[in-house]
Amino acid sequence: MRLSDLQAKIIINVNNGKQLGNLVDAEINNEGNIIYFVVMSRKFFRRFLNREGEITVTFKQIVKIGEDVILVDL
């Protein structure tokens, strides 16, 4: 699966059912491993330089990756 495939999916928190936004970026270390994904809240999505609406999600927090959504435990 490519990062662009993940960016098309909606991120949902399984604890409260709220839609968090969309995956917009990934932090990668020097070895090429993904440290975390960056999710941008939909209401702040249009503010490109504003980091206020950013949420980071690690692999351990991902519960399930489906066809249309990614479920996370935050």
Report the alpha-carbon distance of residue 54 to residue 21 in Å, rounded: 9
CA 43 to chain centre: 15
Of 13, 57, 55, 19, nearest in space to 35 by CA: 57
Would you state the pLDDT for residue 48?
52
CATH number of the CATH domain containing 61: 2.30.30.240
Q: Can you give the pTM of this predicted structure? A: 0.79
Residues 8-35 have pLDDT tens digits of 899 999 999 999 888 888 999 999 888 9
Domain count, the chain: 1
Residues 41-55 have pLDDT tens digits of 766 544 555 555 688
Domain that holds residue 55: 3-72
For the stretch 1-6, contacts whose Cβ atoms lie closer than 8 Å and that sit 24 or more positions apart, written own/partner, are: 1/65, 6/37, 6/65, 6/70
Phi/psi for 17 (5° steps) reads 75, 5
Would you state the pLDDT for residue 66?
93
Would you state the pLDDT for residue 14?
96
Residues 60-69 have pLDDT tens digits of 999 999 999 9
